[in-house]
Structure 1
Amino acid sequence: MLNVAMLSKWHVHAEDYARKLQSHGNVKIAAVWDEELDRGKEWATGLGADFEADLDTLLAREDVDAVVVDAPTSMHADVMIAAAQAGKHIFTEKAMALTTEECDRISAAVRQAGVKFGISFPARTRPHELFAKQLIDDRILGDVTLLRIRNGHDGALNNWLPEYWYDKQQAGGGAMMDLGCHPMYLASWYLGKPKRINSMFHYFTNRAVEDNAQCSIEFANNAVALVETSLVTYRTPSALEIYGTEGTLIISDHTVKVTSKNLDLPFGGWISPNQLPAEQPLPILQWVDAVLNDKAMPFGLEEGTKLTELLEAAYIAHQEHRTVEFK
């Protein structure tokens, strides 16, 4: 049995993580901490768990083996370093932290403690995204020249996100720091090392953080990624397009089309594959399995740091109105 503490209900995914853990069978939610006392107490009561107002007191509990971090992104470094130093395994909502310097400190603490670390990269578990990775790795598309990924919804437009979602001090950013994480970590996974980045962020609903954003990223392999995200678009279908020297993949709203010189296609046309890679367990369930069965986590410290590297550079590019080059 894995005894878990939920560290804050700030993030909108926190409740879903709690439901996933409670339905697992080998996980018990033992305690809750929250930077907002009333919210934390109410959540703990609903989960049938203890509430601890003091984080250090919670982390000292022997009946807590691991923590799920859904605190404001600006608090991630302090919370996760404390958890690691207390010997607790860690699962965190993306983004890992606001800066690569914070990621490095988290990583050092986790490695020194020898605890398991996992981050929520759900797009890397889905059949369509796994299929795209397979085509790239097998060079079915040749050399990738352009990658376009779009992820958006109308949360800011129709006000169904909590208002603190737009608090820059807590969140660290807006649409790109939230929904933009998914196309960002996919771009890194597909294309490797980034070379330079430009950003264009907009404030359609006049909040303190951006609600509509686009980044152009050049990678060391000469591929270009267009990363698009928005909180002000109506019924946005997800979009993943990969253009290569020998083929093209188009995925839109779960419709898949591919063409390639390397496939046996009649008249060089398009096909819609009837079999995709099997869906993998959600990241939080993979993390539980990694902890209980001493397995490697497929996306952890390195992947989380790479995401933050892209995000940090994206915000610098926006704020300073310039191209940012990666070291």
Structure 2
Amino acid sequence: MRKSSVVLIGLGRIASSLEKDPYRNKPCTHAGVLFSEWGRKNFQFLGGIEPHSEKRVSFSKQWKLSSDLLHTDWEDWKKSKQVPDLAVIASPSESHYRNALDCIEFGIRNLLVEKPVCETFPQAKDLEKIARKKGVRIWVNHERRYHPKYAWAKSVLESGKYGAVRTIRASVLTSALAPGRAYQGRTGPLFHDGTHAVDLIYWFLGKPDRVRSSLTRRKGIPVEDRAVAFLEYKSGPIVFLEAGGARNYFQFEMDIMTEKARILLSNDGMRLFESRPSRKYKGFNSLTEVSFPEKSFLGSNPFENLYSSIRKVLTGKSERITGDIGENLNIMELLHRIKTKAEIQTVSEI
């Protein structure tokens, strides 16, 4: 079967350099998948686009590629007259919208875009409208949807095995004192990092009926240091969300409390507690930790699962897309709602 051809736009952190992190489960980048043994069998790398020369040089050395395959900008790429099956947009968030429009105008019909899909909700609305009109498929990389443990959590919640969801505490905690991409441009930690948590909240529960939120900002800083939201559903669940938070560490965690269990999904590991007769209090039930299920219909690596899903669609073996631009528009709308309706607190320092 013919390989699916790919162009990679943006050759930085999530595109490639994170693959050098010795602690991460590999592959953990787009290039890591594309140049893996499985990736080479299924995808053909046509080239990359990156305006920064040092990133092009680093990418070329890391993957042992000819510099001829790497281009400075879209105009340079167009000279090759190659229209790939798939464009992967892994550039900074503020470039996603323009990069996606360039790809669509060039005739590319399948895009994989890093989160957030655009820098703002109005941009996302416009991109979704154009993609729908042109018949372009757009995947948005919220990679936890392709993680077997998160997929198990969704399936068990939908099954009703543990009863209804009562509360979710969602935390995406980062350091404002050591700012990264989240504090550049207009995104802020809510859109840049909190989008992962909001995506999962929407994936698990759908659209909330009521949203209350607050943002904390420093004087002279255009984006928030901390975003807090309280989401309510008429069906019963309530969600507490915190993004940013000025911590001296990074932490992602979804603490899901149902009628009969607690499911803890975290970058520190997964834990499961079930309601069992208490060993401390007679006549009561307590949460007792049990083994987290290991079996899954997905493979163990989220990035490989993502690309495998895309490959099946490109080859006509499947029509299923999870987290496409249409669904992601709802997530962007929720992020926009949290941000624009928030009470603002301005402080002099963290």
Superposition TM-score tier, normalisation by shorter sequence: 0.7 to 0.9
- Aligned match of 1:32 in 31, 48, 58? 48
Measure how far apart 1:179 and its partner are: 1.6
Code of the aligned partner of 2:47? A
1:38–1:100: structure 2 CA closer, same or farther, 3 Å change rule?
same
- Determine the structure 2 residue equivalent to 1:189: 203
Instruction: Give the TM-score normalised by the residue count of structure 2.
Output: 0.75
- Determine the structure 1 residue equivalent to 2:10: 8
Does the residue aligned with 2:160 lie in a helix, a strand or coil?
A: coil
Measure how far apart 1:68 and its partner are: 0.9
**Number of paired residues?**
307
Kindly indicate whether the alpha-carbon contact (under 8 Å) linking 2:272 and 2:289 is maintained by their aligned counterparts in 1. yes
Instruction: Give the TM-score normalised by the residue count of structure 1.
Output: 0.80
Does the residue aligned with 1:133 lie in a helix, a strand or coil?
A: helix
- Aligned match of 1:210 in 214, 218, 224? 224
> C-alpha distance in 1, partners of 2:121/2:336?
8
1:3-40, Cα deviation, whole Å (9 max, x unpaired): 21121236x31212122212111223222223x34356
Superposition pairs for residues 32-111 of structure 1, below 5 Å?
32-34=48-50, 36-39=51-54, 41-42=56-57, 45-46=60-61, 47=63, 48=65, 50-56=69-75, 58=77, 61-62=81-82, 64-88=84-108, 89-111=110-132
1:75-125, Cα deviation, whole Å (9 max, x unpaired): 322321331233321001011123444323322333344343211111122
- Aligned match of 1:138 in 159, 162, 173? 159
Alignment gaps of 5+ in structure 2: 17-28, 279-284, 346-350
Kindly indicate whether the alpha-carbon contact (under 8 Å) linking 1:7 and 1:67 is maintained by their aligned counterparts in 2. yes
Kindly indicate whether the alpha-carbon contact (under 8 Å) linking 2:215 and 2:343 is maintained by their aligned counterparts in 1. no
After TM superposition, the structure 1 stretch with the greater mean CA deviation from structure 2, 76-85 or 272-281, is 272-281
RMSD of the alignment, in Å? 3.0
Code of the aligned partner of 2:261? T
Measure how far apart 1:2 and its partner are: 2.2
Kindly indicate whether the alpha-carbon contact (under 8 Å) linking 1:87 and 1:113 is maintained by their aligned counterparts in 2. no
Does the residue aligned with 2:198 lie in a helix, a strand or coil?
A: helix
Measure how far apart 1:126 and its partner are: 2.4
> C-alpha distance in 1, partners of 2:195/2:291?
28
- Determine the structure 2 residue equivalent to 1:20: 33
- Determine the structure 1 residue equivalent to 2:314: 291
Kindly indicate whether the alpha-carbon contact (under 8 Å) linking 1:150 and 1:238 is maintained by their aligned counterparts in 2. yes
> C-alpha distance in 1, partners of 2:5/2:237?
44
- Determine the structure 2 residue equivalent to 1:325: none
1:268-318, Cα deviation, whole Å (9 max, x unpaired): 442413424525442244324432445322221223212211111122123
Code of the aligned partner of 1:185? D
Kindly indicate whether the alpha-carbon contact (under 8 Å) linking 2:182 and 2:192 is maintained by their aligned counterparts in 1. no
- Determine the structure 2 residue equivalent to 1:272: 290
Kindly indicate whether the alpha-carbon contact (under 8 Å) linking 2:46 and 2:69 is maintained by their aligned counterparts in 1. yes
> C-alpha distance in 1, partners of 2:321/2:55?
29
> C-alpha distance in 2, partners of 1:192/1:97?
21
In the alignment, does 2:236 pair up with 1:230? no
